[in-house]
Amino acid sequence: MVCQHCNQSKATVHITDTHPEKREQHLCDECAEKAGVIIKQSHHTTNEILQQFIKHKSGLAGGDLVCPKCGLTFKEFQLKGQLGCPYDYVAFAALLTPLIQRAHDGGTHHVGKVPPTADATIKKHTGLLRLRRELQEAVEQENFERAARVRDQIRTMEN
């Protein structure tokens, strides 16, 4: 089968879209990569892979969003893979969240170290998140002894 896009190379990637209506696509490696359907990993750094993924997602609305603080547009971020200032995480939150989640294996909340000068509320908030995740893991592993211990720690911290 020949690639539907360039009509030259052999189609190696076959996609069936089910939404909004059923549609089949047959593409060669090169056209599939250009369309952002596949990402060839060889010789690409993590940043390049992320950038390709970001570009693929740029079909979504929001490319014109601008950070009011540093003036970076979301499009510029898509090109460079680098944010302009800490506030971009808020300005582009809606578009960044799925990217971050994917880059961090589903992780959406920080459960690590908190700057020692940060206020007590932040420390508590982050500590609770970490414990809840630990509780979930312990239950999944059927380690009920550990789960009970973590549950007690959560109760102490909440009170």
Partner 1 sequence: MGIDDLTKSTGEWLRGDGPMSDVVVSSRIRLARNLAEHPFLGTADAVERTEIYRCLSQAITSTAAVEDDILVDLETTDAIDRIVLVERHLISRQHAAGEGSRGVAISPSETRAVMINEEDHLRLQGLRSGLQLEALWTEINEIDDALSKNIAFAFDRQLGYLTACPTNVGTGIRVSVMLHLPALRLTKEIERVARAAKDLRLAVRGTYGEGTEAVGDLYQVSNQTTLGKSEDAIINTFSETIIPNIVGYERTARETLAKHHESQLDDRVWRAYGVLCNARRISSGETQSLLSPIRMGIQMGRFKPFDLATLHELFLYTQPAHLQKLHGQTLDEDQRAVVRADYIRKRLA
Question: What is the closest distance, in whole angstroms, from the C-beta atom of residue 1 to partner 1 in the complex?
Answer: 29
Residues 110 to 139 in contact with partner 1, rule: CB under 8 A: 110-118, 122, 125-126, 130, 133
What's the helix, strand, coil split of the chain in %, to 5?
50, 10, 45
Structure tokens at 126: 């982050």
Per CB under 8 A, does 94 bind partner 1?
no
- What distance in Å separates the CA atoms of residue 134 and residue 152, rounded to the nearest whole number? 12
Question: What is the closest distance, in whole angstroms, from the C-beta atom of residue 108 to partner 1 in the complex?
Answer: 7
Region binding partner 1 by CB under 8 A among candidate stretches 3-11, 28-36, 108-116, 138-146: 108-116
How far from 39 is each of 58, 63, 80, 111, 151, CA to CA, in Å?
Answer: 15, 21, 17, 30, 42
Q: Which residues bind partner 1 (CB under 8 A)?
A: 43, 45-47, 50, 69-72, 80-86, 89, 96, 99-100, 103-118, 122, 125-126, 130, 133
